[in-house]
Structure 1
């Protein structure tokens, strides 16, 4: 009877060994999958850090006049124009620019707007004005012509 018990024990040991080897193989596969996912997450973290840094740099590069805060939330000081929107929503300096362009007999150059506002036409001033005119054009308040002149969209 001892001999009958011995084969049963060997079969149990063999079966258990097979189960454990199968479990070890599955665990090894899971470990490999976890390591691969960890590598992917590390890459994603690097990409997220780079994008965050790019956004930070871009935000710092935006002129202070381009954005403001209302109730602690960033807003555009020059909002995109929508049907029925009045120029009164624009900051005062942009309203004065719109007035100069509107009063002109035709499309205006940047230097004409500077002169109309009593500003110097030196390059630093005219480039700052060009940026404001472009911002107004990008947001639908003015129209920029192919020759670089600006006109009202009305």
Structure 2
């Protein structure tokens, strides 16, 4: 091989090496972008699952609006308790809460009721239940003690 041919061959090799290194760098950047996007999707999936669980929990233990319509008149979904009323006038989810509180050995905390009803202790879920317990207490179905526990008034 002549010296000129050897120089031309080395230049070709050097040029090709530079092209391949540039291509490798671009591929490396693309790979990092793909990994970053995968990580973002993993986080988004986690958030979506949490939101779905939260929506499911809220639908299971939805905060009932205080007033509904019956025969064109506003009525409380959780009525003020009056003498002679029984729990069957309450919506089903409130009846379940009342049953848990009634069966307890003593005053109960929100997290105890969550446990009995199989509700997660995540704030969104437990606060929805706390709201219902407070509503029952405000309307005379339960008593809320100074320490935040609840007990039946029966």
TM-score normalised over the length of structure 2? 0.58
Establish whether residue 146 from structure 1 lines up as the match of residue 150 from structure 2: no
Report the Cα distance in structure 1 between the residues aligned to 2:128 and 2:66, rounded to whole angstroms.
12
Contact 2:64–2:77 (CA<8 Å) still a contact in 1? no
Report the Cα distance in structure 2 between the residues aligned to 1:120 and 1:65, rounded to whole angstroms.
22
Larger Rg: 1
Which residue in 2 is equivalent to 1:88? 88
Report the Cα distance in structure 2 between the residues aligned to 1:102 and 1:136, rounded to whole angstroms.
13
Which ranges of 4 or more aligned residues in structure 1 deviate by more than 6 Å? none
Establish whether residue 125 from structure 1 lines up as the match of residue 143 from structure 2: no
Q: By how many angstroms is 1:109 displaced?
A: 0.3
Which residue in 2 is equivalent to 1:135? 135
Provide the secondary structure at the position in 2 that maps to 1:143: strand
Contact 2:110–2:130 (CA<8 Å) still a contact in 1? yes
How many correspondences in the alignment?
92
Report the Cα distance in structure 1 between the residues aligned to 2:65 and 2:92, rounded to whole angstroms.
12
Which residue in 1 is equivalent to 2:79? 79
Deviations, residues 93-112 of structure 1 (Å, cap 9, x unaligned): 00000000001111000011
Q: What does 1:50-129 align with in structure 2 at a 5 Å threshold?
A: 64-129=64-129
Alignment CA distance shift 1:112-1:105 (3 Å): same
TM-score normalised over the length of structure 1? 0.58
Report the Cα distance in structure 2 between the residues aligned to 1:101 and 1:87, rounded to whole angstroms.
13
Q: By how many angstroms is 1:64 displaced?
A: 4.6
Which residue in 2 is equivalent to 1:3? none
Q: By how many angstroms is 1:65 displaced?
A: 2.8
CA RMSD across the alignment? 1.0
